[in-house]
Amino acid sequence: MPTSSRFVVAVHALVALAVSGDKPLRSEDLAHSASTSPVVIRGLLSRLSAAGLTRSQLGAGGGALLARPAEEIGLLEVYRAVEDTRLFTLHRTPPPPDCAVGGNIVGGLQPALTRAREAFEAELDHTTIAEIADEVARLGNFTVPLEW
């Protein structure tokens, strides 16, 4: 399955906003930085602002800003805000309920799948946009906020 690149691009955009500080960034700027199109970025920002992670300033000199300090934005929130797909996909058509295995496999398997998903999410929740931004600044040898 092609999983979507939305999560990584959304983190990219949020890190760019964190690095930018108080200066709003246009969707065109973010699109250039992430090698995608402004419309895709605006679609992501639409979801992120609905989740309370960003806000937008209209008009000339406008653009996107973080709605909260980068230290308070965890990767799990970002993941949930932009990713539609589930970690596991069940049978395309449900198995027959009158089958000994088919009728009980979903119920029997679900707890294990849930545990794996929760372990995944808990680990994502441990990291914040600020940590990623700091690491990017360290790798790129620059300081936050960065003047473009």
Partner DNA sequence: GGGGCGTGTAAGGGTGACGGTTACACGCCC
Partner DNA sequence: GGGCGTGTAACCGTCACCCTTACACGCCCC
Residues at the interface with a second copy (CB under 8 A) = 1-5, 7-9, 11-12, 15-16, 19, 32-36, 75, 84-96, 99-105, 107-109, 111-112, 115-120, 122-124, 126-127, 131-132, 135-136, 138-140, 142, 146, 148
The gap between the terminal CA atoms of the chain, to the nearest Å, is 37
- Type and span of the H or E element at 57: strand 54-57
Q: Which is nearer to a second copy, 59 or 79 (CB)?
A: 79
> Which of 14, 18, 19, 64 is the binder for DNA (CB under 7 A)?
64
Q: Which is nearer to DNA, 85 or 104 (CB)?
A: 85
Residue 1 tokens, joined: 């399955």
Contact 81, 46 (CB under 8 A): no
Long-range contacts of 55-61 (CB under 8 A, 24+ apart): 56/24, 57/24, 61/24
d(CA 56, CA 38): 14
d(CA 132, CA 75): 10
> Which of 26, 33, 106, 146 is the binder for DNA (CB under 7 A)?
26
Task: Indicate which of DNA, a second copy, none lies near residue 101 (CB less than 5 to 8 Å, by partner kind).
Answer: a second copy
Q: Considering the complex, what minimum distance in angstroms separates the CB of residue 94 from DNA?
A: 11
Chain residues in the site for DNA (CB under 7 A): 1-2, 4-6, 25-28, 35-40, 42-43, 45-46, 49, 56-64, 84-85, 89, 92-93
